[in-house]
Amino acid sequence: MNNDQAVEFAQKYMTDILSFFGVNVDVSAEINDEVIEVNVPSTDSNSLLIGRGAETLRSMQLLLTTALRNQGAETYRVNIDIAEYKKQRADKIATQAREWIEEVRKSGDSKVVSLNAADRRVVHKVAGEYSDIDTFSEGEGRDRKIVIAQQSS
C-alpha cells in the first residue's frame, strides 16, 4: 500500500469509526513528514470522541495505526486531531515551555517535567528556538520525563 492509498484508507477507516459513534462528518486526511494527519471537524460529540485525558482519541489513533500496519502501508505513523484539540493543546504546551525555559535561564537550574510523548515533542521543538537551552528525555514508559537545561559551555 503506497502513501496515497494509506491516506485514503485512513480517511475511510476514521469515517467508519466515527459512524459507529453516530457521527457523520467529512474527515480529511493528508500526509506530512511521513505522518498521516487525520482531521475531524467539531461536532456535538467532541467530548465523547476525545475522552478524558484524550484517551479515546489516542485509542482511535492506535486502532488506525494498527490497521495501516496490517494493510502493509509504507507510512503508518498517524496523528488524529478532533476539533483541533491537539493543535490547541500543543499551543498551550508551547506557551508553558517558553515559561519553563525562561525559568531555567533565570535560575540556572534544570527543570524536569513529566509529559506524554506528544507534549515532550512540542517542548523539544520550542527549545530548538533557543541556542542556550538543551532538552532531553529520560526514564522509561509512563515514567518518561523531559529535562530542560541550560547548554553547557
Per-residue pLDDT tens, the chain, 153 aa: give them: 888 899 999 999 999 999 988 888 999 999 988 889 999 999 888 888 999 988 899 899 999 999 999 998 887 789 999 999 988 999 999 999 999 999 999 998 999 999 888 889 999 999 999 999 999 999 888 789 999 999 875
| pLDDT for position 117 | 82
Grid coordinates representing 127 are 527549545
| pLDDT for position 102 | 94
Number of structural domains in the chain: 2
Q: Judge residue 7's burial from the number of C-beta atoms within 10 Å of its C-beta, 0-12 exposed, 13-18 middle, 19 or more buried.
A: buried
Our CA angle for 133, 151, 119, nearest 5°, is 35
| pLDDT for position 142 | 79
Residues 19 and 48 in one domain: yes
| pLDDT for position 153 | 59
Residues 58 and 104 in one domain: no
Supply the CATH number for residue 33's domain. Answer: 3.30.300.20
Residues 9 and 78 in one domain: yes
Residues 76 and 23 in one domain: yes
| Domain boundary pick from 83, 108, 139 | 83
Residues 29 and 56 in one domain: yes
Q: How far apart are CA 104 and CA 97, in angstroms?
A: 10
* Contact predicate 38/67, CB 8 Å: no
| Domain boundary pick from 83, 114, 142 | 83
| pLDDT for position 14 | 94
Range of the domain at 95: 88-150
Three-state secondary structure call for residue 56: helix
| Domain boundary pick from 83, 104, 131 | 83
Supply the CATH number for residue 136's domain. Answer: 3.30.1370.50
